[in-house]
Amino acid sequence: MSKSPIELFYTTLPIINDKRQITGSVARPMIDIILNYKHGKMVGPVQALIDSGADYNLFPEEVASIIGVKLTNGVLRMTEGIGGKTIKAYRHSGIKMFVEGHSFVTSVDFSEEVTVPLLGQQGFFNKFDSVTLLRQKEKIILKP
Amino acid sequence: MRSRIIKGIEKYSNQWVALDSKKTKVIVGGKSLEDVMVKMLGVEGKPVYMRVPRLDTAFAP
């Protein structure tokens, strides 16, 4: 039996100048997710950015420590980002991710060099039949 | 339904915040997620946590 699509909306953030005055805005495909590891402490909902250009889920280390994941126990992976900068991340499997009423077990790369949680192709996109971004409507449709 | 800019979020560039459940306003902000979660202890409601990217630059992860 197919599950119903999950409909979510973009989050709009301001653009500010050096005087902290709002000069514009930008809508981003950010969604609420909850993480849990080995039936331990849950964290969230936390906003994470759907990033179709990211190969894997990539989260800041501080999220790992809250759910009881020891960073360096993971598998070391080097990740190259924009501008060719390479960062050190540790891949952990067995992370349970909840998106609205849908949940799945996935892997997450955690890094001390990342700030905003990113949802990538392996571990997020591949957990859904489709991930659709309707930019003009600022709507996100996840089809489990 | 287009979302509106979250009220007060411009003060928290490059910080963690706790938002109200409808994501309309910032409840508290802080330097770390743990800091913000501690500040939320005893506060009514179900917050949504967000790491606010730098707001004075474009973001290309």
Q: Determine the Cα–Cα distance for residues A68 and A39; give it in Å rounded to an integer.
A: 10
pTM, rounded to two decimals: 0.94
**Burial group, residue A76, by CB count within 10 angstroms (0-12, 13-18, 19+):** exposed
Percent residues over pLDDT 70 in chain B: 97
The string of pLDDT tens digits covering residues B14-27 is 999 999 999 999 99
Q: Is there a domain that residue A137 lies in? A: yes
A44 to chain B: which residues are within 8 Å by CB?
A: 48-49
Amino acid sitting at position A53: G
CB atoms inside a 10 Å sphere around CB A132? 12
Give the nearest chain B residue to A80 (CA atoms).
B61
**Residue A94: inside a domain, yes or no?**
yes
In a domain, A79, yes or no: yes
Residues A74-107: tens digit of each pLDDT? 999 999 887 888 999 999 999 999 999 899 999 9
| Omega of the bond leading into A29 within 30 degrees of 0 (cis) | no
Q: Is the ipTM of this complex over 0.85?
A: yes
Is A47 in contact with B51 (Cβ distance < 8 A)?
yes
Q: Is residue A71 part of a domain?
A: yes
* Residue A23 C-alpha from the chain's centroid: 27
C-alpha pair distances (Å), A126 with each of A48, A53, B25, B47: 16, 13, 33, 28
Report the distance separating Cα A103 and Cα A75, nearest Å: 24
Please count the structural domains in chain A: 1
Output phi, psi for A6, to 5 deg: -100, 125
pLDDT of residue A82: 79
Closest CA to B17 of A125, A17, A45, A34: A45
- Structural domain including A133 reads 6-143
Chain B residues touching A49 at Cβ < 8 A: 61
Yes or no, beta carbons of B3 and A16 under 8 Å apart:
no
Q: What is the CATH number of the domain that holds A90?
A: 2.40.70.10
**Does A1 reside within a domain?**
no
Q: What are phi and psi of A139, to 5 degrees?
A: -115, 145
Tokens representing residue B32 in the block: 């770390």
| Residue-by-residue pLDDT tens, chain B, 61 positions | 567 889 899 999 999 999 999 999 999 999 999 999 999 998 888 999 999 999 998 888 7
Q: How far apart are CA A126 and CA B13, in angstroms?
A: 31
